[in-house]
Amino acid sequence: MKLKLRVWRQPSAATEGKLVDYEIEGVSQDSSFLEMMDVLNEKLIHEGEDPVAFDHDCREGICGMCSMVINGIAHGPKAAVTTCELYMREFNDGDTIVVEPWRAAAFPPIKDLVVNRTALDHIIQAGGYVSVRTGSAPDANNIPIPKDDAEISMDAAACIGCGACVAACPNSSAMLFTAAKVSHLAMLPQGKVERYDRAVLMVNQMDAEGFGGCTNIGECEAVCPKEISLDFIGRLNRELIAGTFKAAGNR
């Protein structure tokens, strides 16, 4: 395949960025989008130019590191995949492809397509866990958990923390991300003890990081590579309302 690429280049956070045009040839339909970017970078290095910086690691859709807005869509045109799982057979010979970074106030740029997503870690640190010390756990089968509850919990826990939901949201809200963690833990007996504190603390942190509010647009669900359902935002809101009435989150 022969492709035209328009790639966001920004040398550093302090400098302005712009879209730069490149042409590449000989791209295999069986290569992944990131392998196509590898081809571009090898070419740039040989030509004495700076290769395009982009985040990637596992290249099998689970680490959540890769993060490109492709033709205006976070993780590209195919539903339910990460950028690394997007294959060039989704494109046609001669296509022009625009590649940009995640854009959100809470994700400051680092270089080219790389942004800083530490704000998502801060939301988890605010309360996205069960407070249990190593060594103080009872036998694993002591508390039976209905299979359906475990399944719903797992649906939410599948979030990979890539931040596509934020990148896609017109408000740059991290509501789906936060809702996934709150729901994952609130569905399980082990997580119920701290459920209200957790919801209030995590949402407070989300606001403090500069993420926007949720106005139920649904772009997040549409781009989520793990198909995390909007329903979980409903669950989060329930936890949050109950928590607010209980004046939770004061620890």
Nearer to another protein, 31 or 217 (CB): 31
> Please, what is the minimum distance in Å from the beta carbon of residue 43 to another protein?
10
Output the smallest distance, CB 219 to another protein, in A: 22
Measure the CA–CA gap between 180 and 239, rounded to whole angstroms.
12
The nearer residue to another protein, 217 or 221, going by C-beta atoms, is 221
Question: Least separation, in Å, of the C-beta of 13 and another protein?
Answer: 9
Distance between CA atoms of residues 30 and 144, nearest Å = 45
Residues belonging to the chain = 251
CB nearer another protein, residue 29 or residue 215: 29
Q: Give the whole-angstrom CA distance, residue 93 versus residue 1.
A: 5
> Would you say 23 and 73 are in contact if contact means Cβ atoms under 8 Å apart?
no
**Cα 240 from Cα 49, distance rounded (Å):** 50
Contact 168, 220 (CB under 8 A): yes
Give least dist CB 201 to another protein, A: 9
User: Least distance from C-beta 214 to another protein, angstroms?
Assistant: 22
Rounded CA-CA distance 160/226 in Å is 8
Nearer residue to another protein within complex by CB, 22 or 217: 22
Question: Shortest approach of another protein to residue 202 CB, angstroms?
Answer: 11
Task: Tell me how far apart the alpha carbons of residues 176 and 237 are, in angstroms, rounded to a whole number.
Answer: 11
CA distance 5 to 37: 10
Q: What is the β-pairing status of strands 96-100 and 109-111? A: unpaired
Radius of gyration of the chain (CA): 20
